Structure 1
Amino acid sequence: MTINVYTDGSCIHNGQPNALAGYGVYFSENDSRNESKKVIGKQSNNTGELTGIIRAIEILENNLKNNEKIAIYTDSEYVIKCLSSYGDKLKRNDWKTSTNKKPPNLELVKKAHGLYNTYKKFIKLNHVDAHTNNTDEHSLGNKGADLLANLAIGNTQCPYSDSIEKDEKVYINISFENKDKAKELGAKWDIKKKSWYYNISLDTHNKEKLNILSKNIQTDKKHKDIDSFFPKNNKELFNIDEDPTESLYEEIRNHRESPVNTTFLPNISSISAKKFENNTSIDSKDKIYIKIPFAKKDQAKGYGARWEPSVKSWYYLPGLKQDNIDKLLKLSK
């Protein structure tokens, strides 16, 4: 029989000097093993997530020593990668990033990675969506862990509505240079939509700062060379080893195209091509955005479609040949 356990971290004023973090470990209602405590040391959402999963394994260590199987459920992609792929890379590099820097939360990452790999044969890691308001076993388990994590820092209930819907995520454009600052302010990466967002429950002060960052990228991109959106070195842009969150960019990285020049634009009108030659960004109103399945991206490029990193979408220009437009529209169906 497998033992199910749910973990979560919480933090108010994340990224601020007055941040306060907690964690929750939830088995079931009124279970004596449930745990709700404040984080010791650095106060952040990620330290809460890491501490929660560490405590879950420690609480069940005797069970693991007896070869009992456990399933850990967490809504944190960060934690899962710290215990697996990202943690493995750090360990191979003497617990340093690819640029020989000390990664964030190193001691917690080492401890979590070590515990997991000691009992890896008997532990199954599972990612669960957060705050779904669903009534299935795992949604309720995640909600229980979330409540315990919030109780640890003085919230008597989860700071989320009982009717949370997707539109309660506020999506924003964040440049790569500002990603760390955005995460400190509470922004999160939506792997499905390939976009940054923050929850409406986020501290007002942090929301204002994130909105300023988002506005800055809208202004700056009008003055940048188009090549600046397409660095030749994928590592330069995505720096996967530097931060596990960036591994979520992998799908986007696969979309990245070579630096732009007119030899890649055989079907674009001379006026549009001239805009590229002059290294000025094409106005978004000139672009017609379409949905292209990842498996058909090469075909789409062959018909003249291009990838727009800032909005995570494919598009074509009005000057494209009608025959190619028809083919692109067929691909998008």
Structure 2
Amino acid sequence: MTGLLVQLNKSTNMRKVIYRQFGDESVLEVTEQAVPGIEKDQLLIRVKAVSINPLDWKVYGGEMKLMSGSTFPKSVGIDFSGIVEQTGSAVTRFTAGDAVIGVLDVFKGGALADFLVVKESDIAPKPANISFEKAAALPVTGLSAIQIIDQLAAVSANQEVLINGATGGIGVFAVQIAKKRGARVTAVVSTKGVAEAAKWGADTVIDYTKQDIKLLNRRFDAVIDLSTTLSFNQAKILMKPKAVFVTTLPSPLTLIYSFVNNLISGQKLKVLIVKPTIEGLNTLTNLAEAGLQIVLDKTYSFTNVRDAYREARRGKLIGKSVIVLD
């Protein structure tokens, strides 16, 4: 521990991305701040990579004010990979030098920094068989996929599942996990994602540029909209009488509508609100160690953070984009 403290004392400052008002990527700025100290139940993590999530720009764009609040400055970055730099006296599961993955409060962020402070419940061991870049892409979208498939849609063997936006960050994992649960998966993708979705195990792959899914003469037990291009009302024609529709847009209006609808209709509307748990993180690491495919579209340097978010927000990615700290 002494050696680590000496190393930290050589440089007491770090880089951290913050924003002081809501807006587009131009509000993001790289600042220099003091390396934070830790309490006895906390760990200091040297961050290696941070993934980009759609929730990031929804928060810094001001779409989630009710959840994030309007007090500035605010921080960016939810899930990360890194190395334990220092541990508090009450920490028992990790020691300095351990490689980890983790996830922060989804509405507060703060992972885009050279160092960050976490509790043991925020992190899990990094799978040894994947890189730090791939590990950073795992927590938020992986946890989202598990929550959608196992809890919201409650997918089981032989069910018919439609995944719209199947090559995005969540979709990569949702296809694979739904197949592990024994479902028959129909993946809706762009032309460049057709081969990828088939590789992940989708039984049927639909290129939305060539076929309108709303005209499909099929009915599904679960319709999962990850691209936010299909409304619940539009999806009803694709749903069996007792089917579930899952959306990833947790607006207050949608939450109210889902509550009312689910009281009176057999066709249920479920809204994803990511709830990270240590059990979920451990499930993800086990899946990764067992061969879960993690797809990176592009990696960026810390100094190109604005470009990274700007390009990610334009969409059309296969998998995730990641910012690498050097």
Q: Provide the TM-score with structure 1 as the length reference.
A: 0.25
Q: TM-score, normalised by structure 2?
A: 0.25
Please identify which structure carries the higher strand content. 2
**Relative contact order, higher structure (CA 8 A, sep 6+):** 2
